[in-house]
Amino acid sequence: MDVYVRPGVSFWYLSQVFSVPLRLIIDSNRDINPQYLSIGQRIRVPGYVTANYEIKPGDSLWSIARRNNLAVDTLYLVNPNLNPNRLQIGQSIRVPRRVTWRFVNGKQEYDYNTMMNDLWTLSSVYPFMQMSMIGDSVLGLDIPEVLIGLGSKRVHYNASFHANEWITTPVLMRFLNDYLLSLTNQNSMRGLSTLPLYLQAMLSVVPMVNPDGVNLVINGAPESRREQLVEWNNGSSDFSNWKANINGVDLNDQYPANWDLERERNPKNPGPRDYGGEAPLTQPEAIAMANLTRRRDFSRVLAFHTQGEVIYWGYQNMEPPEAEVIVKEFARVSGYEPVQTLESYAGYKDWFIQDWRRPGYTVELGTGQNPLPLSQFDEIYEETLGIFLAGLYM
């Protein structure tokens, strides 16, 4: 929500009058020096939207503010040219409204456009959330990364490496939405105050690593690729079991961590699953994730997949001792089973552990056959919420 500077207004004052943490005001206005505000300057206040209100007989700014549980000054801040002595019946003014509801509806077929619409909405309402594009898919779709928090602990979550595991994206998006709500409304999540998490951790999220694949599973084959994809899919136009990207390459078999050993036991041609390509890091989505990981220098990474209610950790005994401590907490808060993997090759978490010697995890959500039904969504979210939070506080 945009407000406009009046005499006596500071970032601190805005944080008090709107009951939003000062740090979130500062981080929502990174291009503004809070020591040099000018009258009429536009400031962004996170966690609010405005609604149009038409003046009725007997209305005053005081009565309007009282009905909406607001300080009168908030009306002046969003209506810079408002004259309280010249209110006219039928006149339209803007009234701040604190956001207490979710924008993300995860219980639907959640394709790329749905995700992008939700991300643009969240970045508008919560401008302290940063969003940038880390690369493109084979078909040229932008792959977004979201950043929340500026702390020294750099934590990364990703979802939908595999196309038919797309339910991981709306589960992760619901967490993003709930985390943002908790920060601006200063509500706890699972008994945890979230502002300290924001201050100590920088959370990086790539909610859909494989957008072309997700669109293929949900919406069917694009006409330009249809003939080739049907051939790779054993003659079927039903792509519900497709894991790979649009080139028929399994993106989680694309990383240089004993890639050749993984290739030996997997298919040698493009198809719905398990083909690791002709060499590691040849697919644009895998390259984008690798470049991001190198640039951010993450403290730990969690890749969310389906299914099995297990948490795979470790790679060739290269993980640090703290990895086991962390995974035991993940298991405690979720009920998922921790499984140390020794012969897992070419995956994103394998490569991360190998090259950084830091904790990496593959979290398998839910149970059943992929793609998991949306009827499991709420249960999966409640199980996974503890892991999302523990990844920040551990």
pLDDT digits (tens, 9 = 90+) for 311-336: 999 999 999 999 999 999 999 999 99
Indicate the average pLDDT of the chain.
97
Q: What is the pLDDT of residue 327?
A: 98
Write down the pLDDT at residue 122: 98
Q: CA 277, 283, 286, 288: dihedral to nearest 10 degrees?
A: 160
Token pair in block for residue 127:
């401008």
The Cα 324–Cα 336 span in angstroms is: 14
- pTM of the predicted model as reported, rounded to 2 decimal places: 0.96
Segment 37-54 shows an average pLDDT of: 97
pLDDT score, position 344? 87
Note whether 2-98 and 112-213+278-393 share their fold.
no
Annotated domain spans of the chain: 2-98, 112-213+278-393
Q: What percent of the chain has pLDDT above 70?
A: 100
CATH class of 2-98: alpha beta
Identify the pLDDT of residue 93. Answer: 97
The CATH number assigned to the domain with range 112-213+278-393 reads 3.40.630.10
pLDDT at 342 over 80: no
Q: How many residues does the chain have?
A: 394
Contact 90, 72 (CB under 8 A): no
- Ramachandran quadrant class, 220 (left: phi over 0; alpha: psi -120 to 50; beta: rest): left
**Cβ(162)–Cβ(143) below 8 Å:** no
pLDDT digits (tens, 9 = 90+) for 224-269: 999 999 999 999 999 999 999 999 999 999 999 999 999 999 999 9
Q: Which residues are catalytic?
A: 364
